[in-house]
Amino acid sequence: MSEHKQSKAIRKMADRIVKGYQAVHEKNYQEAKELLEPLLPLFHHEEKPNITLLSYTCIAQIGSKDIDAFLKSYEELKTFKPVTEKETALVQRVDDMFEELMSAINVNRDHPNK
């Protein structure tokens, strides 16, 4: 691949990540999920975690009500330690969403007729 084509491809993926992050901020969770999930294998590895991308993907997954994917991604997210303040804040936001989900499940289990 020529350097120009490679640069163009990288820019296209970076734009897709930015659009995915913007979609989360705009609460367009399904769109964000569709933009971000396919990029996880490229930009997030156990040896070199991308906590920001994984956190935004978790938010998009729970926002689009894909609970199974959220739980899987959340479990993976919890294996990494945030490095920056921004990562810490994002992980805290995802933790809060997890807690809210668990509370909702417990309320529904305790009060099935509600």
pLDDT interval class at 46 (50, 70, 90): confident
Residue 66 DSSP label: -
Token pair listed for 20: 């995915």
More confident residue, 2 or 80: 80
What pLDDT does residue 113 have? 59
Q: At CB < 8 A and 24+ separation, what contacts does 31-40 make?
A: 32/56, 32/59, 32/60, 32/63, 32/64, 33/57, 33/60, 33/61, 33/63, 33/64, 33/66, 33/69, 36/60, 37/61, 37/69, 39/13
pLDDT interval class at 111 (50, 70, 90): low
pTM confidence score? 0.89
The values of phi and psi at residue 45, to 5°, are -135, 155
What pLDDT does residue 105 have? 85
Q: How far apart are CA 77 and CA 80, in angstroms?
A: 6
Is 76 in contact with 84 (CB distance < 8 Å)? Answer: no
